[in-house]
Amino acid sequence: MKTRLFVLFGLYFFIIGCSQSTSPDNPDWVEDLIVRYKSEPLGNPPQSIWRYNYNGQIVYYVPPQCCDQFSTLYDEEGNILGAPDGGVTGDGDGSNTDFFTSRTDENLIWKDPRQ
């Protein structure tokens, strides 16, 4: 009986873990970023990663966390393109100033499920 319960609980946690897994289409560096965010304290707002088409390429956008922090915009290879928003002025670092008006094909890749 104990063995059956152990197996059922193990199966339950496996299914729950799989339901929160991320897409196999994500680049490895995005998966690594998700693992890092999961290991950090819950952000305010919770961390999220978004994919867009921007200037003819796939990019990944991580919104800023809390006050005066920069967002991060990555290219498909994981190179930082800049911070389109956040910071003291809210306007980012001055790079990618047309990001919010030019981006298309919004897709939420991951959002921290913790409350």
Q: Which token pair is 76?
A: 């498909």
Note the pTM of the prediction, 2 decimals.
0.78
Specify the pLDDT at position 12: 38
Cα separation, 67 vs 43, in Å, equals 11
With CA atoms as reference, report the closest residue to 112 among 56, 40, 15: 40
pLDDT band at 98 (very low <50, low <70, confident <90, very high): very high
Percent of the chain whose pLDDT exceeds 90: 72
Tokens of 95: 């790079």
Yes or no: say if 56 and 75 are a contact pair by the CB < 8 Å rule.
no
For the record, the structure tokens of 108 come out as 């939420």
Joined together, the tokens standing for residue 14 give 């496996």
pLDDT band at 115 (very low <50, low <70, confident <90, very high): confident
3-state secondary structure of 98: coil
Q: How many CB atoms lie within 10 A of CB 30?
A: 21
Amino acid (1-letter code) at residue 7: V
For 42, other C-beta atoms within 10 Å of its C-beta total 13
Cis-peptide into 45, omega within 30 deg: yes
